[in-house]
Chains A and B, each alone.
Chain A
């Protein structure tokens, strides 16, 4: 609710330049457009992901990107509805990763299940330790937001090279201290060190 009202108060021109969709080019500036934009993923992200699986000389029309943009929002709503129903039956308030995977299994996306289980397991291994360090978590969430924006900007060079972009769908990025305000530098350094420790000693840590 708070986020919705906040978005509504922004000038339309400013919203179209928001970091989440830096390359979005549109002439319409109505309030309806803003709300419509909020319920879709940024078309720039959609286009980049689509390009990773087409031949090097292939192209994607704008209406195809827009259609996939609508389809993926529908996919999120479809799966979320199923996961939410399960949570309500079990009298739980929070949808977690396992609920999403369960819903995807139930709805017939068998091929997705194994990769997602592996992905979630890795996420829990790496992020789970942060539960005992609230400050680190706060810092991590802020870093995550910043990295998302930077990643969107930085990922552009990969578009031109199909082979490399296909092989590296999630390029590693190591931020420099200058990217963050001074008040967060100590935490970010500790966070990186801790991350490295966890990764290096995953076997030892959990044995």
Chain B
């Protein structure tokens, strides 16, 4: 329930900001022309052939990416620095209903997972930009990458507002993006009261007490208890300095 409200709110915020982005969509009106010039040997309106041709270099890119990631992780020797702030990850995790305590190792794993997620999404979006002969990755490239990748289905709502703008601009004929519109039309949007609170409050009053949750090898009560006591104070101090 809260998650649905969150999605609708994010969708509404995105919808409200879309008019400002209208000018950036205009350059893509050369879509048909650029496709013809890019693939002169193929019929420009044969989506299957185009799709097959596009997939090959993208798959190679992703294969190289995962191989590099595995090697990089094998060579990891320090967990003191992360490409993403762990405190923020933890805060987002705790925004999910029913979440009580989050171990430090969970935040660390998420930092790496999010990095891989963003990189995969960017590689796929980059492929979409290349198809349109652009060097700049735009929001519609991210939307295209999401609509073509099954595991990214949960993100369709986040980018569907943009697809609506695309539709209004007369891009209904684009096969891949057009199909993404069908399921979204069945999802209710913008039904949430405008004064709804942006962020639901923490579900448990004790959440503040677990800010300094210690690292533990296993979820073992004997190990967990002694280390909980002293941790809140220094962690709170650290958090203050972060703010």
A residues near B (Cβ < 8 Å) are 1-4, 6-7, 10, 15, 18-20, 32, 35-36, 38-42, 45-46, 48-50, 52-55, 57-61, 63-64, 66-68, 70-81, 83-85, 88, 92-97, 99-101, 104, 107-109, 111-112, 114-116, 118-120, 122-124, 126-128, 130-131, 134, 137-138, 141-149, 151-152, 155, 169-173, 195, 199
Quick check: A94 and B103 within 8 Å, CB to CB?
A: yes
User: Between A and B, how many residue pairs show CB distances below 8 Å?
Assistant: 316
Chain B positions within 8 Å of A128 at CB level: 215, 217
Residue contact B88 to A54, C-beta cutoff 8 Å: no
Q: Which B residues are CB-close (under 8 A) to A15?
A: 243
Asked whether B182 is an interface residue with its Cβ less than 8 Å from the other chain, the reply is no
CB-CB under 8 A from B212, the residues of chain A are 141
| Cβ contacts under 8 Å, A173 to chain B | 78, 80-81
Chain B residues engaging chain A, CB cutoff 8 angstroms: 3, 6, 10, 13-14, 21, 24, 62, 65-66, 69-70, 72-74, 76-89, 91-93, 95-106, 108-110, 112-123, 125-126, 129, 135-139, 141-143, 146, 150-151, 154-155, 158-159, 162, 198-199, 201-202, 205, 207-208, 211-217, 219, 223-224, 226-227, 230-231, 234-243
Please name all residues of chain A whose beta carbon is closer than 8 Å to the beta carbon of B97 when the two chains form the complex. 81
Q: A19-B242, A67-B143 are in contact. Are A60 and B137 (CB under 8 A)?
A: yes
**A38 in contact with B86 (CB, 8 Å):** no
Which of chain B's residues have a CB closer than 8 A to the CB of A46?
118
A70 and B122 form a contact (CB under 8 A): no
Contact, CB under 8 Å: B243 / A115: no
B-chain residues with CB within 8 Å of residue A35 when the two chains form the complex: 198-199
Determine chain B's interface SS by DSSP, over half rule: helix
A199 & B141 in contact (Cβ 8 Å cutoff): no
What's the nearest-Cβ distance from chain B to residue A5, in Å?
A: 9
Partner of A99, one of B92, B96, B106, B230: B106
Q: Considering the chains assembled together, what is the distance between the CA atoms of A29 and B56 in angstroms?
A: 46
**Chain A residue contacts of B230, Cβ below 8 A:** 134, 138
